[in-house]
Chain A
């Protein structure tokens, strides 16, 4: 082998991180894999419904172009089309790889792969392993990486928290500082290239469908070091989740893919009889219950909040599976039905589930090019923490695909970059020690904070603020107010007091450090939303009149801004201003050369 030995640091052990790791190992590189938790417990396993790939196994003449178009159209034309094209073309190969690795995909009676419907697409294009597809895909990669652990080449640092990247004197990222979450020891690690695959920022909203580890802290850390964030205002609200005080638990879109219907009680406007109103089917006859998530969430929100038809306080609508045979449900959706029973105590096969929309996924994230390089040399990003592939709204079952695909792209590219000799000098011991000392100092300062504020209460408050102003419906006055309140929260962060001053498994102090990053990220989301004066995908902005009141139509409906391709057919770029700690927004062109933008309307069948 003429290749010199190179080492890549991968931060995050979800689908994207593990896939990148595997590719690097297969290419002959070495990997240090960092994760908050054993990689087998990464958040990818919460994905339930499936993974999209055009396999056309159901006689529907599905095509890769159709998948491509659905994704771009579903994302309201804000996704880089060349990137999406690469992803959908690779999708069937990814499925075959997973199948060989032993993912127990649900099968048809012939023993071949089964497929189901999903939101925003008319063909059966979603492969699934019951209702725990993410878990099964993650386990397959976890197993393969474990095989490599035995073979040699990868070293896992589990229960290690990424704190920051270290740049050499040319400004190239050549290492990271990380902290052992048990011993609280802070160490610098050198590398040739660093890939972040740290997932989404769901915790910024407090309660969401994300795991407690999805706090976006790593993303904010590199943002503070100069990485562009892109499209952060596009936060997907999943229409069907079980609201809870500790978290909102996802109820997969697969429920609707397998025939679930969403309804509320109403008085029939003509007969005045009480009836079940299947409002999604009524509002969007072409796609019915399988409209994309942003559309479904807005409809549910409207029915509950503006029309007052939610079933009671708190607001809920019904997601009904009780008309579907029990054994069919058991086979196709077993895992999540069990979850509903576990947490609510009722069987979805017998009574309709009570659900409400919840923050679910961030389409935005670290800006990357099509090869997954960030704007900082030597730093790459993959998975939910990058902004690629989904535009303004992600279609269901495209996230497992994008996570895996971004790992497939980023891994070999990291290896190429590491071997290219373009990276300048490796870090000196002094540079590594200086970076380490800085983090130690920061952590020690946090451990000794003695103010009156409780970090967890502050986090809760921030979540409330974000839900209030930056969720399904946004308006500029609210967003301005939100920014103001977030600045207040940031100020109050300085007055946090910790009760745990120790230096052993001090989760409280680590949380305080993450919280600051979460607040900064919340500001990024809000600022991005404030500056984008249009409605597109998951970002829906209400029109205000001069005196700041919400404009309504004569029959009392809210008026939303339209999509403004002339000004906002651009990627939002957010940069950190170290002086003010505030986000700076600019816009960047992206590739939309393949499919001409057209109006997005799910009430009628898609026209190309």
Chain B
């Protein structure tokens, strides 16, 4: 009895909450600096550059890339086991269940593009540092890109926040229907708040 399925599933759940959560909070926090203008954002980006490069890279690979890759690949396997049916059974939780999987599919594609273009191509290969100016020209240059980025952020935020709810159920933290409901409402509030922040800082590129 090794129960590898059990441990993989639990790991998948934990990674989703901690790593995806961490990445989302980092992105929302850093990017929201854009609201303070170019200096604020560039300052925040510069702060990160203070971490020595090899350590930074190690953190990126071990704490972000590998866990997220695991979450994505195992997540695809999980998503393939679902036969989504919210059209027939339109309960809120069922919609959230389906959205969890649909956002996952979108995120897999979006993140590949996002990471390859910004992190690997622009920053890694071309050596161009990420800056307020770069992002502004990138987004304002093509509203389609901006729209996809907003959607990508929304998808990631929803996937994470709904993940909090399912995490609480999967780990047996929220047991009864009332507490499950409270957790669900709270995490959806968090979802709305993070989406609002995202919309604001993305909008700021166009206003300023």
A–B proximity contact (CB within 8 A): no
Contact residues of B with A, CB < 8 Å? none
